[in-house]
């Protein structure tokens, strides 16, 4: 038996549950009083309630609970780190293992897709106008919550498609276009308008502030960090994680000549780069990071995923320099402890060492008609926390607008 | 398999190597099937009901009741009696009896009038049957002169039983329907007609599911469906009740019973035996799992007997009957208060929900610590203990005697979670 999993680019990394397995899983649920899982969802998706609906075969009801509480319910089902949120709180942990809440949520959202359910609809206008800058998770959440109150919302984004990090910062094997589009459609069903391929710089922001009753800035952390003072980062073949993931998504995984790939970074984005490089046919892929396996920021699920795909990981090593004349040819790594050194031949080096705010929005805080939230405000957390932030900000904006 | 334990029993004077028989149904309608079940170790069969002509069956013809992930909680079938003519069946029976002389060939028969009952009785006797079972209970016959419509009528049961008895020297078993309030009445008819035993229950008239889009029952036969027989684990409680009622009726107490209804494990088998059944018939679990289930039924039964020091089935047949008493005679002088093992409790709160909504509001649930406490309001109903999802967390505890009631020994339920 092969020890390495073959998974074409964009093919789902995890299989969903069919209706029979879903009923088995839902019947494992203890249907707790005041369910702890519901308390531990940052966005208030209320799994205790939607699992109960599934258990009593009210699948449409489950969709309604999810959609009303979490506008990105379909995406969150796929990529939320449930193991440290709702599933960690699950009472069933005291018996054997938690309910697979993400899988049940994914099933409910699949029903929404298959049955073409239209759960949300535009509210009567309250006469107010709000602009959201950034069509990422927090912006979408702000837009949806305000639209439910009758606010006319326009979302601006520099990319061709809405979704932000969902679309361009995560590999499609973990989150497909179909599922992102499903969530976007739910936002649109509330009457939210999108202005895409439209970058809003400082100058334009001022115009929007004049034009709208309030402006939400949810541009996230869309610029990539680099390791400062590292020799060779200007060589050809060196790129950032977000640039790489984005071009892979746009090309549908058809990127040739990656050659031998070295990824620097130990977070989920680095793991996504590793699987993507592997799926795009890289000759070899290594991931190296300064943290240990224990302290690396990536979730165990993501680490397991790339290990399954046959990607070797090198923990507790830092890059000391990149070699090459015009194009990168190798990466030199040194152990964090001791004197071990490794030189890895490389044709492509991808840096996934964190993201930062684009210069235009650096240091921006909420002020007057401007509201700031999401990763931009919290320093970069999960999608579900961005949704939570978006819901909170929408409340603040509503208060500001006296709705 | 325990070698020491003898599972054999003489039922109606016929020696059976074990009490496990296939009931007259889709599981035993030809030579190959019955040869295989004999090879695997069944004690005998009640050959699928022989009529004058073969049946014309519908498709599909089965449906199940599913509870969450569990299929076959209950099973519905729309099949009638044998699809072969009586002549074809006589040949098969003859060959089986020749090839398996030590196995017991019960043959189920069904006629529509005196002449047919008489002919079938004579011919199946001639073919080599060891006993005849009279099918007065199939609920899905296309003729109302047959099946459970007959079984509900004590006079017809008596009459046809008598006709059969006049045409055979074999033991005769009347198979009774549960689709009736008092199963004792037609059973007494059978006894008057000369039956040597009754078997019960046949299937219960049912509609398992409605196809809510096609607006009909399931299975859907070209857009339509019919009421038909329900069987499997879900009907066991009803079967046990009917058998207890038969065995506790003074007129019927000595009439042997072959027990049928949801038998799947050796424990089910022991339960039927304890209520007085001397022979056991199985279909639904065989349809789901195959003939091989008899291996664990036999072995489990032998292990049970060994553990209890029984050497013969007769040592414990009917032993539970004296303890099934009318509600008015139960000891109502005490309450067994459950106790909760808080170390095992996972804090789901289900006990508190059920106690409030379905009991006596006697469990306080601390929303901070997520732990339940049983209060003075507890009446000892044990709903909490039945809904608790954690093994051995809520168990029967202190026995509280009601005001004015003298404390005395109270026998508790054995092995609560078995």
pLDDT digits (tens, 9 = 90+) for B139-192: 888 888 888 889 999 999 999 999 999 999 999 999 999 999 999 999 999 999
Does some domain include residue B415?
no
Same domain, B50 and B127: yes
Of A20, A31, A33, Cβ closest to residue B69: A20
- The whole-angstrom separation of Cα A237 and Cα A350 is 8
Chain B residue numbers with beta carbons less than 8 Å from the beta carbon of A96 are none
CATH number for the domain including B353? 3.30.70.20
Asked whether residue B246 falls in the same domain as residue B369, the answer is no
User: Nearest-CA residue of chain A relative to B387?
Assistant: A30
Say whether residue B326 is in contact with chain A using an 8 A CB cutoff.
no
B186 within a domain of the structure (yes/no): yes
Question: Is the domain of B83 the same as that of B164?
Answer: yes
pLDDT for the residue B140: 86
**CB-based contact B390 A24, cutoff 8 Å:** no
Separation between Cα atoms, residue A91 and residue B345, nearest integer Å = 9
Interchain pair A36, B347: CB under 8 A: yes
Indicate the residue among B303, B323, B343 that finishes a domain. B323
Q: What's the sign of the alpha-carbon dihedral A80, A86, A88, A92? A: negative
Tokens of residue B204, six digits:
């219960």
For chain A, the farthest-separated pair of C-alpha atoms sits apart, in whole angstroms, at 67
The answer to the question of residue B179 being in a domain is: yes
In a shared domain, residues B319 and B339: no
B379 and B310 in a common domain: no
Q: Exposure of B357 by Cβ count < 10 A (0-12 exposed, 13-18 middle, 19+ buried)?
A: exposed
How many whole angstroms separate alpha carbon A77 and alpha carbon A64?
14
Q: How do B228-231 and B204-206 pair as beta strands?
A: antiparallel
Same domain, yes or no, for B232 and B347?
A: no
> Do residues A112 and A63 lie in contact, with contact meaning Cβ atoms separated by under 8 Å?
yes
Same fold, A129-222+357-400 and A226-354: yes
- B293 & B364 share domain: no
Number of domains observed in the structure of chain B:
2
Distance CA A275, CA A285 (A): 9
Which pLDDT does position B418 carry in this prediction?
A: 44
Active site residue B355: no
The helices-and-strands tally (H runs, E runs) of chain A is 16, 15
Find, in chain B, the residue whose alpha carbon is nearest to that of A26: B68
Fold topology of A19-115 = Fumarate Reductase Iron-sulfur Protein; Chain B, domain 2 (1.10.1060)
Q: In this structure, are residues B268 and B294 in contact, taking their beta carbons and an 8 Å threshold? A: no
Tens of pLDDT along chain B (418 residues) come to 445 799 999 999 999 999 999 999 999 999 999 999 999 999 999 999 999 998 899 999 999 999 887 899 999 999 999 999 999 999 999 999 999 999 999 999 999 999 999 999 999 999 999 999 999 998 888 888 888 889 999 999 999 999 999 999 999 999 999 999 999 999 999 999 999 999 999 999 999 999 999 999 999 999 999 999 999 999 999 999 999 999 999 999 999 999 999 999 999 999 999 999 999 999 999 999 999 999 999 999 999 999 999 999 999 999 999 999 999 999 999 999 999 999 999 999 999 999 999 999 999 999 999 999 999 999 999 999 999 999 999 999 999 999 999 999 999 888 654 4
Which of B300, B323, B346 is the last residue before a domain boundary? B323
Q: Domain check: are B57 and B77 in the same one? A: yes
| ipTM of the prediction greater than 0.85, yes or no | no
H/E segment holding residue B39: helix B31-40
What's the pLDDT at B2?
A: 46
- Site from B348, B355, B392 to mutate, A interface, most A CB atoms within 10 angstroms: B348
Which residues lie closer than 8 Å to A402 by C-beta, 6 or more apart?
Answer: none
- How many CB atoms sit inside 10 A of residue B342's CB? 12
Q: Do the Cβ atoms of A92 and B346 come within 8 Å?
A: yes
- Is B406 among the domain residues? no
Distance CA A346, CA A332 (A): 10
Residue B376 CB: number of other CB atoms within 10 A?
A: 7
* Cross-chain Cβ contact A33/B353 below 8 Å: yes
Residue-by-residue DSSP string for B292-330: THHHHHHHHHHHHHHHHT--SGGGTTTTTGGG---GGGS
Residue B343 lies in a domain: yes
B350 with B298, same domain: the answer is no
What's B163's DSSP letter? H
**CATH number of the domain to which B83 belongs:** 3.20.20.70
Query: Are residues B349 and A32, on separate chains, in Cβ contact within 8 Å?
Result: yes
**A18 class by beta-carbon count within 10 Å (0-12 exposed, 13-18 middle, 19+ buried):** exposed
Question: Which CATH code fits A129-222+357-400?
Answer: 3.50.50.60
Closest-CA residue of A relative to B365 is A33
Which residue numbers of A have CB closer than 8 Å to B's CBs? 20-21, 23-24, 26-27, 30-34, 36, 55, 91-95
Helix axes A101-115, A177-189, angle to 10 degrees: 70
Structural tokens at position A295: 């302290």
Contact A32 B350 (CB under 8 A): yes
Q: B230 and B350 share a domain?
A: no
Measure CB to CB from residue B348 to each of A21, A26, A33 and give the nearest one. A33
CB contact under 8 A, A27 and B367: no
Do B345 and B317 lie in one domain? The reply is no
Domain shared by B173 and B275, yes or no: yes
Rounded Cα gap, residues A153 and B335, in angstroms? 64
CATH class assigned to A226-354: alpha beta
User: How distant is the Cα of B269 from the closest Cα of chain A, in angstroms?
Assistant: 28
Specify the residue for token string 């099973």: B75
Q: Do B69 and A93 touch (CB under 8 A)?
A: no
Provide, as residue numbers in chain B, all residues whose Cβ is less than 8 Å from the Cβ of A89.
none
In a domain, B3, yes or no: no
What are the pLDDT tens digits along chain A (403 aa)? 689 999 999 999 999 999 999 999 999 999 999 999 999 999 999 999 999 999 999 999 999 999 999 999 999 999 999 999 999 999 999 999 999 999 999 999 999 999 999 999 999 999 999 999 999 999 999 999 999 999 999 999 999 999 999 999 999 999 999 999 999 999 999 999 999 999 999 899 999 999 999 999 999 998 999 999 999 999 999 999 999 999 999 999 999 899 999 999 999 999 999 999 999 999 999 999 999 999 999 999 999 999 999 999 999 999 999 999 999 999 999 999 999 999 999 999 999 999 999 888 998 999 999 999 999 888 888 999 999 999 999 999 999 999 9
**Chain A contact set for B350 (CB, 8 A):** 30-33
- Asked if B69 is an interface residue toward chain A (Cβ–Cβ < 8 A), one would say yes
The alpha-carbon gap from A24 to the nearest alpha carbon of chain B, in Å, equals 4
Domain residues for the domain of B24 are: 9-323
């Amino acid at each position: 038996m092969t020890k390495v999993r073959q998974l074409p680019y964009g093919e789902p990394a995890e299989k969903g549950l069919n209706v029979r397995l879903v009923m088995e899983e839902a019947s494992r649920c203890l249907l707790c009083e005041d369910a702890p899982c519901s308390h531990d969802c940052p966005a208030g998706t209320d799994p205790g309630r939607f699992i109960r609906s599934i258990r009593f075969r009210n699948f449409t009801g489950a969709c309604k609970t999810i959609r009303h509480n979490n506008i990105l319910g379909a995406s969150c089902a796929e990529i939320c780190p449930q193991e440290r949120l709702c599933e960690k709180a699950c009472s069933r942990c005291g018996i054997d293992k938690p309910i697979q809440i993400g899988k049940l949520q994914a099933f409910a959202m699949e029903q929404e897709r298959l049955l073409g359910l239209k759960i949300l609809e535009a509210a009567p206008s309250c006469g107010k106008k709000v602009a959201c800058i950034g069509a990422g998770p927090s912006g979408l959440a702000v837009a949806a919550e305000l639209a439910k109150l009758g606010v006319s919302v326009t979302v601006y984004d520099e990319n061709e498609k809405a979704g932000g990090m969902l679309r361009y910062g995560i590999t499609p094997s973990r989150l497909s276009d179909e599922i992102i589009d499903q969530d976007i459609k739910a936002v649109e069903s509330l009457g939210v308008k999108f202005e895409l391929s439209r970058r809003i710089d400082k100058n334009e922001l001022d115009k929007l502030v004049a034009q709208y009753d309030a402006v939400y800035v949810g541009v996230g952390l869309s610029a990539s960090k680099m390791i400062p003072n590292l020799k060779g980062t200007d060589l050809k073949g060196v790129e950032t994680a977000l640039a790489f993931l984005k071009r892979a998504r746009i090309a549908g995984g058809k990127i040739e000549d990656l050659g031998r790939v070295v990824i620097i970074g130990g977070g989920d984005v680095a793991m996504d780069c590793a699987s993507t490089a592997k799926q795009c046919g890289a000759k070899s892929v290594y991931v190296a990071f300064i943290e240990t396996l224990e302290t690396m920021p990536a979730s165990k699920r993501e680490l397991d995923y790339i290990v399954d795909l046959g990607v070797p990981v090198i923990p507790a090593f830092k890059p000391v320099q990149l070699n090459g004349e015009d194009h990168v040819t190798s990466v030199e790594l040194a152990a964090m402890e001791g004197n071990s050194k490794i030189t890895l031949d490389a044709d492509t080096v991808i840096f996934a060492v964190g993201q930062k705010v684009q210069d235009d929005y650096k240091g921006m805080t909420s002020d007057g008609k401007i509201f700031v939230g999401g990763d931009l405000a919290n320093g970069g957390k999960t999608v579900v926390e961005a949704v939570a932030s978006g819901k909170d900000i929408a409340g603040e904006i509503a208060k500001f607008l006296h709705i | 398999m325990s070698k020491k334990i003898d599972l054999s029993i003489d039922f109606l004077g016929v020696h059976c190597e074990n009490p496990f028989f296939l009931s007259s149904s889709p599981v035993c309608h030809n030579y190959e099937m019955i040869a295989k079940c004999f090879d695997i170790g069944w004690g005998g069969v009640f050959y699928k009901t022989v009529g004058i002509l073969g049946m014309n069956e519908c498709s599909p013809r089965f449906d199940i009741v599913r509870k969450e992930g569990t299929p076959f909680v209950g099973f519905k079938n729309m099949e009638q009696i044998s699809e072969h003519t009586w002549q074809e069946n006589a040949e098969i029976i003859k060959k089986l009896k020749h090839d398996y002389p030590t196995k017991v060939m019960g043959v189920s028969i069904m006629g529509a009038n005196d002449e047919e009952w008489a002919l079938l009785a004579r011919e199946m006797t001639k073919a080599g049957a060891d006993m005849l079972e009279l099918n007065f209970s199939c609920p899905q016959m296309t003729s109302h002169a047959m099946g459970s419509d007959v079984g509900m009528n004590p006079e017809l049961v008596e009459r046809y039983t008598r006709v059969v008895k006049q045409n055979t020297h074999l033991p005769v078993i009347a198979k009774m329907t549960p689709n009736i309030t008092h199963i004792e009445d037609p059973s007494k008819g059978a006894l008057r007609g000369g039956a040597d035993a009754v078997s019960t229950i046949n299937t219960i008239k049912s509609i398992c599911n409605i196809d809510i889009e096609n607006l009909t029952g399931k299975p859907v036969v070209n857009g339509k469906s019919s009421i038909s027989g329900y069987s499997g684990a879900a009907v066991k409680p009803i079967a046990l009740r009917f058998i207890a009622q038969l065995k506790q009726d003074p007129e019927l107490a000595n009439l042997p019973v072959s027990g049928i209804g949801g038998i799947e494990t050796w424990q089910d088998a022991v339960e039927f035996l304890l209520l007085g059944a001397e022979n056991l018939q199985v279909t639904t679990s065989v349809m789901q799992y195959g003939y091989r289930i008899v291996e664990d039924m036999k072995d489990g039964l032998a292990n049970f007997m060994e553990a209890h020091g029984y050497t013969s089935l007769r040592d414990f047949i009917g032993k539970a009957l004296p303890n099934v008493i009318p509600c008015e005679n139960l000891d109502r002088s005490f309450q067994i208060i459950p106790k909760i093992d808080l170390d095992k409790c996972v804090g789901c709160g289900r006990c508190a929900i059920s106690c409030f909504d379905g009991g006596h509001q006697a469990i306080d649930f601390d929303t901070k610590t997520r732990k339940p406490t049983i209060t003075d309001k507890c009446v000892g109903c044990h709903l909490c203990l039945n809904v608790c999802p954690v093994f051995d967390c809520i168990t029967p505890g202190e026995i509280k005697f009601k005001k004015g009631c003298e404390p005395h020994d109270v026998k508790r339920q054995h092995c609560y979670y078995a």
